[in-house]
Amino acid sequence: MNIAWTAQDNAFRQEVIQFFERELTDELRNAGRFMTSVYGDHELCLRWQRKLLAQGWLAPSWPVESGGCDWSVAQHYIFAQEKAYAGAPPVSPMGIQMCAPALIAFGTAEQKTFFLPRMLSGEHFWCQGYSEPGAGSDLAALNMTAVDEGDTFVCNGSKLWSTHAHVANWVFCLVRTSREDRPQKGITFLLIEMGSPGIDVRPIVSLTGEHIQNEIIFTDVRVPKTNAVGKIGAGWTVAKYLLEFERGGAAYAPLMHVRLRELRQLALQAPSDQGGCLADDPLFMSRLADVECQVNALELYELETLSRLTRGESPGASASVLKILGTELQQAVTELGLDAAGHYSTAFQPQAGHPGGPVLRAHRSDAFSGGRAAALAPLRYFNERAGTIYAGSNEIQRNILAKTVLGL
């Protein structure tokens, strides 16, 4: 694999940089740079989605005839790099990066014609209906039923941890259409309109006070059978294909490079227990250098995986490798950030209320000039704890690799 940038690559990089400089307002930039969750502000991300759509860069990995870009492997990665460097907010991956590849691979011509353009325009905003109260990492244990009644399914059950279900108007669901000898059989991949009678969305508020996740209750919800993607009863195949894109379709390294640069800057300002600044602490800087080496190695693996994606191949086992390496390295970066912020990284902020005495360790804008970076450290630390759990826990990913790669 040749990773040297050509003159054409460098010209494309300049085009991307100029686009970000022209289209990213301060508000949009801040929505990306100061994110402390997996997802950005809903309205701002939709605004950014419309700008990408107008440029023709919203779904670069899609087939060109569906609205994708005829980019080389290098161009895909250059775009991911410059997006991270510019601080652009993310686009919700549920429709464009997750449901869409499943539709493109398994959907009918009618389904593609109807859903794909509406995903791009934002007219359809998607959420995911996979996990249930008794089926998380063991997804095949799901119990939400879809009973065949002629031209429709009647759906009953619930889905848990559905991100942005309170603002979505469509959900892609795994439902049980029959009971078979193996739990993976008899599952169907179904597209359901959120405005359908019988759907109740209940908020799950996180410890930070954010309302991102939800529980969805389905009570006698009628869904046209034409909304099934792939064969009825063979939805597990569709779901596994989709999860490959959820786990391995992202570039982790570019944003981690940005975070590591921020950490080096913070280390120059943060006081060390031995006196001077943290950048003079050989133990901390050795840990930082070790993580940087691992991120560089991950970047090469991402380029190799991206090469397969742009040839129309699925990530395959590489999706599990990227999920493990990417999320665990993200956690390592946030642990370094927590150490660099020191006692200014406390998650407890009593100054938000009316304390009975001086608050000696509150976040301050002048905190050893670390300012906002110190305040963001604990929020990013706690957010990244979930990375090794969602989209299939890393223990599950290791089991997948043991089975598919090692044949155990």
Question: Residue 374 pLDDT > 90, yes or no?
Answer: no
* Six token digits for residue 181: 């000898």
- pLDDT tens for 164-176 read 999 999 999 999 9
DSSP one-letter code for 388 = G
* Alpha-carbon gap, residue 36 to 34, rounded angstroms: 6
- What percentage of the chain reaches a pLDDT higher than 90? 56
Question: Residue 111 pLDDT > 80, yes or no?
Answer: yes
Helix (H) or strand (E) holding 203: strand 199-205
By mean pLDDT, which of 56-70, 196-210, 229-243, 304-318 is the weakest? 304-318
Which range of residues forms the domain containing residue 201? 125-242
Q: Are 302 and 253 in contact (CB under 8 A)?
A: yes
Give the pLDDT band (50/70/90) at residue 274: confident
380 & 258 share domain: yes
Does 159 reside within a domain? Answer: yes
Number of domains in the chain: 3
Q: What is the pTM of this model?
A: 0.81
| Block residue for tokens 């469509």 | 170
208 & 320 share domain: no
Catalytic residue, chosen from 246, 299, 302, 384, is 246
265 & 393 share domain: yes
Verify whether residue 246 is a known catalytic residue: yes
233 & 255 share domain: no
133 & 228 share domain: yes
